[in-house]
Structure 1
Amino acid sequence: MIGMAADADRRVELHGSRVIDLTHEMYHGMPSWPTNSRFCVEDAKLMEVDGYRLRDIHMNTHHGTHMDAPSHMLEDGDPISAIDPGRLMGDGLVIDLTHKGDGEPITREDLREFEPEIRRGDMLFMHTGWDLLRGINRRYLFMWPYLSVDGARYLVERGVSLVATEAMSIGGWGDRTPTMGPITDTGTEVHRILLSNGVLIIEEVANLEEVLAGRRYARAQFVALPMKLRDLDGAPTRVIAIVD
C-alpha cells in the first residue's frame, strides 16, 4: 500500500490511498483527566523581544491522544521506550459502537457482533463518537462508554495487539471530584487484563468516523508512534489510518 518515491527527496507515496489523522490537537487548557495535572503552555521567548519564539510545555505522560505502556499499571511492565516499533504499525479494524450510551460498558456481547471481522494481531479501534464531545464538559470528562472486564478478556482471547478508544480512558471513570463520583471500579482491572497480556492501549483518538465512512466496520492500516520517553509509563502519540 505504501511505497517510496524514486525522486531525490524520498517522499512517501500512498499510491491512491488516503491518510486520516486520528490525533487530537494539544493546546493550553485542553481537557484532561480531572484529578491529574493540566496541560499548560507558557511563552519562554517572544519574537518581539528575543527575535524568535520558544515555548515551555508542562504535561504528564497521559495528556491528549496517548499510549499506555505496560508499566502504567504493571510493576514489572515495559516502559514506553521499550516497545518494539514493529508493534506500532499494522492492519486493524474500526468498529461502530455509537449506540452505547453515557457511562455504559462495552461488553463481550457488543464486541462479539464483530467476531468474524476481528483477526488475531489486529489493532482494534472503538468508535463511540466521544471525540466530538471533546471539551470541558461533564459528558466528555466523566460519562464515556468504557470497556468492561468481560470485554477486555474477550479481546485478549481474540488476540488483538492493541485497543484504542476515543474516551479519556479505556476503563470507566472511577475517581472522585466534588461534582462527580465514580461510574465504575473496574478501570484498573481492565487496564491490567489488557497490558498483562501484551495488548497495548491508546486513549483519546479522533476522527474514526472518517475511516468508517458510514459503515459498521472498516479495515485499514494504522501507525501509532508515541514519543520515545525513557523508562516512562506512557506518552503522547501521533496516530494515523491509511485507507484505500
Structure 2
Amino acid sequence: MKILDLTHYISEDMPVYPGTEGPKFSPANSYEVDGFRETLVTLYTHTGTHMDPPAHLFPNRTTLDQFPISQFVGRALVIHCSDLREGQSITMDYILPYKDKALQAEFLLFHTGWSQYWGTEQYFGEYPCIDHEVADFLINSRKKGIGLDTIGLDPIVDINLTLHKKLFRDSEIVVIENLMNLHLLGDELFTFCALPLKHKDADGSPIRAIALLDE
C-alpha cells in the first residue's frame, strides 16, 4: 500500500482566508523550566487543510462531531481539471468521461492545480470553481464530501457563499478545502481519509487528509 499526504503544513505564515487571523504558536512549557516542551496553539477552525460541515452556515444543522466516523473515510476519485484558466468553471464535462467511477466514489476531489500558488497572492485569485450542475450531481449522488485544492468552494468574491449554501441546506455532505498533491493521484478509485479533530459543536476543523493506494 502507498500512502500520500494531501495536507498542507500549519504555520504562522501560512495563507488564511481573507479577514481571518493566522495561527499562533506560543511556548507554554520548556525543557529548561518544566522538563518538557509544550506549545499553546491558537487557530481558527477553518485553518489550512480543513473541513466544513453543514453547521458552518446553518444553525441546527449537522456539526462535525454529530457525523459518524464513517463520514470521513471512503472511496474517492480525483477529477483532473488543471487545464482551466482563471475564473473558469468546473463543469460536468470533466466528470462525464469517468461517470461510472464518479458514481461509485463517495468523495470527489477536484485537482485544479491551484495548490502550486500556496503562499502567494495568486492563491487568493480567481481559482476555478464547480458550477451548479456539478453541485446538483454531488447532492443527487449523495456524496460524503467534495474536496478542492483551492481556498474555497465559492469564488473568493462571493461573500454570500452560494455554493456552500446549496450543498449544505439539505445534504449531509462535508466540504474539504486547501488540499495538496492531487496531481500525484491518477484516475482510479482509492481510499481517502480526512479526519477532523473531535471536539464538541464543531463548525469546522483542520484535518489530516491522506490517500491510500493499492500497489
Q: Structure 1 length as normaliser, TM-score?
A: 0.81
Matched, 1:70 2:43: no
Match status 1:159 vs 2:128: no
1:165–1:146 distance in 2 versus 1, CA, 3 Å: same
CA contact (8 A) 2:95 2:102 kept: no
Q: Which amino acid aligns with 1:105?
A: S
CA distance in 2, matches of 1:166, 1:63: 14
Deviation at 1:121, TM superposition (A): 5.2
What is the match of residue 162 of structure 2? 189
Matching residue of 1:200: 174
- Report Cα offsets for 1:12-58 as digits up to 9, x if no partner: xxxxx111111111111211102112112122223344432221111
C-alpha distance in structure 1 between counterparts of 2:46 and 2:111, whole Å: 20
* Structure 2: runs of 5+ lacking an equivalent: none
- Judge conservation of contact 1:148–1:171 (CA < 8 Å) in 2: no
Write the distance in 2 (CA, Å) between the matches of 1:57 and 1:142. Answer: 28
Measured after TM superposition, the shift of residue 222 of structure 1 is: 1.0
1:165-244 equivalences under 5 Å are: 165-174=148-157, 185=158, 188-195=161-168, 196-212=170-186, 217-244=187-214
Structure 2 counterpart of 1:54, from 31, 38, 47: 38
Please tell me whether the aligned partners of residues 225 and 237 of structure 1 are also in contact (alpha carbons under 8 angstroms): yes
Question: What SS is found at the alignment partner of 1:155?
Answer: helix
Maintained 8 Å contact 2:53/2:173? no
C-alpha distance in 1, partners of 2:22/2:126?
Answer: 19
- Residues 113 and 121 of structure 1, relative CA distance in 2, 3 Å threshold: closer
The percent identity for this pair of structures is: 28
Of residues 63, 69, 74, the one that matches 1:90 is 74
Q: 1:172/1:127 Cα in 2 relative to 1: closer, same or farther (>3 Å)?
A: same
Matched, 1:35 2:5: no
Q: Does 1:131 align with 2:131?
A: no
Task: Specify every segment of 5 or more residues in structure 1 that has no aligned partner in the other structure, as ranges.
Answer: 1-16, 175-184
Q: Partners in 2 of 1:92 and 1:64 — Cα distance?
A: 21
Secondary structure of 1:26's counterpart equals coil
Counterpart Cα distance in 2 of 1:18 and 1:120: 21
Greater relative CO, 1 or 2 (CA 8 Å, sep 6+): 2
1:141 equivalent to 2:124? Answer yes
Distance 2:23 2:127 in 1: 21
How far apart are residue 160 of structure 1 and its match? 2.2
In 2, Cα distance between the equivalents of 1:165 and 1:218?
Answer: 17
Match of 1:21 in 2: 5
**Alpha-carbon distance between aligned partners in 2 of 1:204 and 1:167, rounded to the nearest angstrom:** 5
**TM-score, normalisation: structure 2:** 0.91
1:219 deviates by 1.3
Q: CA 1:207–1:91 in structure 2 vs 1: closer, same or farther (change >3 Å)?
A: same
| Alignment root-mean-square deviation, CA | 1.8
